[in-house]
Amino acid sequence: MSTPSPSYGQANAVPAAQTEQLQGVVERLTFHSEESGYTIARLKAPRARDLVTIVGNFPSIQAGQTLQMQGIWRDHPKFGPQFEVTYYRETKPATLTGIEKYLGSGLIKGIGPVTAKRIVAHFGLETLDVIENQCDRLGEVPGIAKKRVKMIQAAWETQKAIKEVMLFLQSHGVSTTYAVKIYKQYGAEAIATVTNNPYQLATDVYGIGFVTADAIARNLGIAPDSEFRYRSGLLHVLSEASEEGHCFLPQPELVERTVQRLALSDHEPDPEQISAIVTQMGLEDQLVMQGGSGELQGQFICYKPAFFQAETNMADRLRQWLQRPVTVDLPRVQAWIDRFTAKTRLALSEQQRQAVEMAATQRVLILTGGPGCGKTFTTRTIVALWKAMGKVIALAAPTGRAAQRLSEMTGQEAKTLHRLLEFDPKTFGFKRGYDNPLETQAVIVDESSMLDLFLANSLIKAVPLEAQMLLVGDIDQLPSVGPGNVLRDLIRSGQVPVIRLTEVFRQAQASYIVQNAHRINQGQVPQLEPVSAVPQTDCLWLGAPQPEDGVQAIHDLINDLIPQLGFAPAQDVQVLCPMTRGEVGTRNLNTVLQQLINPPYSGKTEIARGGMTLRVGDRVIQQVNDYDREVFNGDLGVIAAIDPEEQEVTVRFGDRLVNYDRADLNEITLAWAVTIHKAQGSEYPVVILPLYLQHYMMLSRNLLYTGLTRAKQLAFLVGPKKAIAIAVNQVKDQQRYTALARRLR
């Protein structure tokens, strides 16, 4: 960034007559929202003994910036005097302290607080002019080598370009929070791309959705009834539906949702025009017209092209697969099973034995069942059988943790599906497929309830037609986060052989976690023992009637009881919440738990980003699939290092170290508490489940069942029994719009 040329912004609109003037240097950010720009900051004002609190909407703000502001003084009942900013202007820092803070704020890669102090000590008030016009002189500063000088110069030039993007977006009334990502995506073409097709941002840049792109388009003068806007709106509505799990929408519902989404105060879209565009875009499919049933009878159904191709391709491939019989000597298989059980001295139930035999004789088999019913031992036995038959076996699961568990269970390497299928970040596709199938004769996929339409389709394409496949999963858990309901659809089709294990084994019956999971599944309230100093079961309840009581209860459990029971909170405990919002949501609990489990202390490096502080030792979760780094939505890691000079955070995911620069830190967030949806496919020694009426809309039987079954050794349910009862009684087996089962039939 060049010597800061004045830039302007608007915070909140209040009558101009009430405004006063204030100038100062931003000392630190107390809070900054990435989405709205709402900021609370502390300002050092001339002749003021104490720091001043300023509040307002700042698209981009850094410690060290010098601001000239207009606003109004207000007296907050809890926090005292605050200056509410209505307009602001950034100016060149006028003091050595201001320049030092400005440079050391993380704005320029290669300059952290220590380096900034050295540079300002050497060049004084000329510092910014030197960096702008004579950057090679930075080599005069002790400790700055030529390599770092070049890095700082490149970063400064990049920031100048980013500043142009920021000012361009700000001039069109749009938050510039994502300017760095826009610049990284398009480079020198950023402004041209945004001008020519602002809707492209919603496709290309993580964190920018249709609403933001639409706002830019309106400011650029694109008419609200333009066909271009309508086409983008239709695709956006179908994308929103996919986030609810749908593969398609009935045409009337698509049109209705699109009219609502595109309506403005001065514009009401014409449903007939939108229907005509649906037809022009070729989004319709006549599957239901050809003899559907129920509420969709006689309606067109509408897909995004990629969804239609994935669903039809998957159904076609599975039909081909199922039509190829498996030739096997069944008596020989049965004799092997007898020898195996005699050797291991472990008996198979009738259901388990049937599953092992069918794994030998069927092209595709689904093995499902609840906790304690023997899915693990059955899977292990099938692996042993296939090995005895001389088959090359591939083991996989949707998440890293589930793959690790499958490997431990079978004694054979298991991979994530992305690694098994060899994802190529250059093409955003898998190297394995029809033309390059997996070199295997048998495939086992665990946690198959997590398979969404696209991952399942990629898997089916990559498995050779002559191979066999076992899908293992619990269909009573939450469905996949992505679109589709693959495992349930395969079962509903009636075309794929299924074994459902129902018998709970004696050793599992001793676990209240297992018992209560089955009770919940059957619509019965779980049997809960109140928390005591010496727990008698592995499934406990702590009443804590109000959300604030729940926060304190979780704090006390982690601080006192759980360590007394021999568990380490930093490694063994996971808090699972129905939602992110509220006092007992993940956002608030992560702040509380971070202070409790990984508090700050001298020498522990940390970095602030968007109102969130990350420090070494924090547990974090990946929030989006990042194919370049090979980390995926839901992956858990631990911050291993933070480089304040380079503004980089290094996260350890299993045995891999992954680096994030400042612009990409919104891809990760704290994970001391995560949503139950994000915990699918994972298990933890100790699970704490807060359940409160403030999350009423999310409470459901399969949510509670999924959360409870993530606990391996100990589970705590925190909250009023009324909330637990509501969760048990609310059967939200959401009807997802999918046609895979029908296509298979």
Continuous segment of H or E residues that includes residue 268: none
What does the alpha-carbon distance between residue 707 and residue 702 come to, in Å, rounded to a whole number?
A: 8
Please give the annotated binding residues for ATP, written as ranges.
372-376
Reduced DSSP (H G I as helix, E B as strand, rest coil) percent helix, strand, coil of the chain, to 5: 45, 20, 35
Which residues pair with residue 609 across a beta bridge? 612
- Residue 229: count other Cβ atoms within 10 Å of its Cβ: 21
Could you tell me if residue 500 is left (phi over 0), alpha (psi between -120 and 50 degrees) or otherwise beta? beta
Q: Which residues does 201 contact at the CB level (< 8 Å), separation at least 6? A: 182, 194, 208, 212, 213, 216
Q: Backbone phi, then psi, for 704, in 5-degree steps?
A: -65, -45
**Residues near 221 by beta carbon (within 8 Å), at least 6 away in sequence:** none
CA dist., res. 391 & res. 386, Å (int): 5
* 693 vs 726: CA distance, rounded Å: 9
How long is the chain?
745
CA–CA dist 38, 61 (Å, integer): 10
Give the ranges where 250-349 is alpha helix by DSSP (H): 251-262, 271-281, 305-322, 330-344
Q: Residues at the annotated binding site?
A: 372-376
CA distance 398 to 319: 23
Q: Within 10 Å of residue 376's Cβ, how many Cβ atoms?
A: 17
Selection from 565, 558, 635 nearest residue 597 by Cα: 558
3-state secondary structure 407-438: HHHHCCCEEEHHHHCCEECCCCEECCCCCCCC
Q: Could you tell me which of 232, 681, 196, 712 has the C-alpha nearest to residue 447? A: 681
Cβ atoms 607, 647 nearer than 8 A: yes
| 19/86 Cα distance (integer angstroms) | 8
Distance between CA atoms of 179 and 164, rounded to whole angstroms? 9
Q: Which amino acid is residue 233, in one-letter code?
A: G
